[in-house]
């Protein structure tokens, strides 16, 4: 991780020490978090309204009804995921793992700013050379991509897509460094182009595919007479 490339000005507090690019990055992250939370809450409320769990106004035990709705929402997501075509599942795995890895890498790298370690994470060195996380990312993407091409086994393509997306996330998170041939990770060049374009596109694509899973899951779980309460 690139934790050692740090504040080039005194630490005057969390936000006051940030430049415009870092503030825009924080804004993008907050927007993504709010959008994700809103999507989850919307689907949860939709399943609660259409499913078998008692509605809040009809329930004697609100907590128990909420738990039942949460379990049914999980069944909807699992059923939709299992019902789509292999190509859709593979693409979703790739995009979801890419987004998650990208966000996790940025978060861990930020946590390493100004400190030697963060939990089990630390800068990795071989001799005097600092090994950036794009190195294992490239290796993982190459290995999983080659395995998918060589094996051509459908049952392996879903987990290999997860590995490939993880490698993509680690590599593209530091793509500005590869382009500039110097560490620009925490500069505007390193933040704006990679985070705004790649992360936003992947996040939107993953949401679009995820919505397909959920709608198909609703048809399987909620429209089945056995899973629908009488009179609902």
What pLDDT digit, counting tens, does each position of 150-200 carry?
Answer: 988 888 999 999 999 999 888 888 877 777 777 767 666 666 556 655 666
Query: Average of pLDDT values for 120-130?
Result: 75
Helix orientation angle between 86-111 and 20-50, rounded to the nearest 10 degrees: 140
In a domain, 183, yes or no: no
Domain boundaries, position 152? 86-173
For residues 61 and 78, state if they share a domain.
yes
| Last-in-domain residue among 156, 173, 190 | 173
CA separation, residue 122 to residues 81, 108, 130 (Å):
36, 9, 11
In a domain, 190, yes or no: no
In a domain, 168, yes or no: yes
In a domain, 204, yes or no: no
| Last-in-domain residue among 173, 200, 222 | 173
Instruction: Give the model confidence (pLDDT) of 23-72 as tens digits.
Output: 766 777 778 788 888 888 998 999 999 999 999 888 889 999 999 999 99
In a domain, 3, yes or no: no
For residues 108 and 160, state if they share a domain.
yes
For residues 27 and 77, state if they share a domain.
yes
For residues 135 and 166, state if they share a domain.
yes
How many DSSP H helices and E strands does the chain contain? 8, 4
| Last-in-domain residue among 173, 200, 221 | 173
For residues 63 and 90, state if they share a domain.
no
Contacts of 12 (CB under 8 A, 6+ apart): none
* pLDDT above 70: percentage of residues in the chain: 77
Predicted confidence at residue 228, as pLDDT, reads 47
Strand partners, 117: 122
For residues 130 and 105, state if they share a domain.
yes
Query: Can you read off the two tokens belonging to residue 176?
Result: 């500005």
- Residue 111 half-sphere exposure, CB side, CA atoms within 13 Å? 12
Burial group, residue 19, by CB count within 10 angstroms (0-12, 13-18, 19+): middle
**Rounded Cα–Cα distance for residues 71 and 10 (Å):** 49
pTM: 0.68
Task: Name the domain count of the chain.
Answer: 2
Long-range contacts at 23-27 (CB < 8 A, ≥ 24 apart): 24/191, 24/192, 24/196, 25/106, 25/191, 25/195
Q: With contact defined as beta carbons under 8 Å apart, do 212 and 84 qualify?
A: yes
Which of 89, 85, 51 has its CA nearest to residue 220?
51
**Rounded Cα–Cα distance for residues 8 and 64 (Å):** 52
In a domain, 131, yes or no: yes
For residues 56 and 103, state if they share a domain.
no
For residues 45 and 94, state if they share a domain.
no
Predicted confidence at residue 12, as pLDDT, reads 42
CA separation, residue 203 to residues 87, 136, 143, 197, 206 (Å):
18, 23, 24, 10, 5
For residues 57 and 40, state if they share a domain.
yes
Predicted confidence at residue 230, as pLDDT, reads 44
For residues 78 and 127, state if they share a domain.
no
Q: Are strands 124-126 and 129-131 parallel, antiparallel or unpaired?
A: antiparallel
Query: Average of pLDDT values for 11-34?
Result: 65
Query: Can you read off the two tokens belonging to residue 44?
Result: 């949860």
Q: Find where tokens 């399943």 sit.
A: 47
**Rounded Cα–Cα distance for residues 176 and 167 (Å):** 16
Predicted confidence at residue 66, as pLDDT, reads 94
In a domain, 181, yes or no: no
Query: Average of pLDDT values for 108-134?
Result: 77
Predicted confidence at residue 21, as pLDDT, reads 63
In a domain, 94, yes or no: yes
Predicted confidence at residue 146, as pLDDT, reads 95
For residues 73 and 24, state if they share a domain.
yes
For residues 62 and 118, state if they share a domain.
no
Q: With contact defined as beta carbons under 8 Å apart, do 92 and 212 qualify?
A: no
Predicted confidence at residue 150, as pLDDT, reads 93
Return mean pLDDT, the chain: 78
């Amino acid at each position: 991780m690139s934790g050692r490339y740090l504040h080039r000005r005194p630490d005057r507090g969390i936000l006051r020490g940030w430049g415009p690019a870092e503030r825009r990055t924080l804004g993008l992250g907050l927007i993504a978090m709010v959008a994700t939370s809103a999507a989850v809450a919307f689907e949860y409320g939709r399943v609660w309204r259409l499913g078998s769990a008692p509605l809040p106004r009809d329930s004697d035990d609100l907590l128990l009804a909420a738990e039942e709705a949460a379990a049914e929402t999980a069944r909807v997501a699992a059923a939709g995921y299992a019902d789509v075509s292999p190509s859709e599942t593979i693409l979703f795995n790739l995009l979801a793992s890419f987004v998650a890895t990208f966000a996790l890498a940025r978060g861990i790298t930020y946590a390493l700013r100004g400190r030697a370690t963060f939990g089990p994470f630390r800068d990795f060195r071989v001799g005097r050379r600092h090994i950036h996380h794009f190195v294992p990312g490239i290796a993982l993407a190459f290995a999983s991509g080659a395995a998918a091409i060589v094996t051509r086994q459908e049952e392996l393509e879903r987990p290999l897509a997860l590995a490939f997306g993880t490698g993509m996330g680690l590599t593209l998170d530091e793509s500005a460094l590869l382009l500039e041939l110097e560490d620009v990770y925490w500069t505007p060049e390193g933040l704006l182009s990679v985070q705004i374009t790649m992360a936003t596109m992947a996040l939107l694509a993953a949401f679009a595919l995820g919505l397909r899973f959920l709608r198909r899951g609703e048809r399987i779980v909620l429209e089945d007479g056995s899973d629908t309460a009488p009179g609902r």
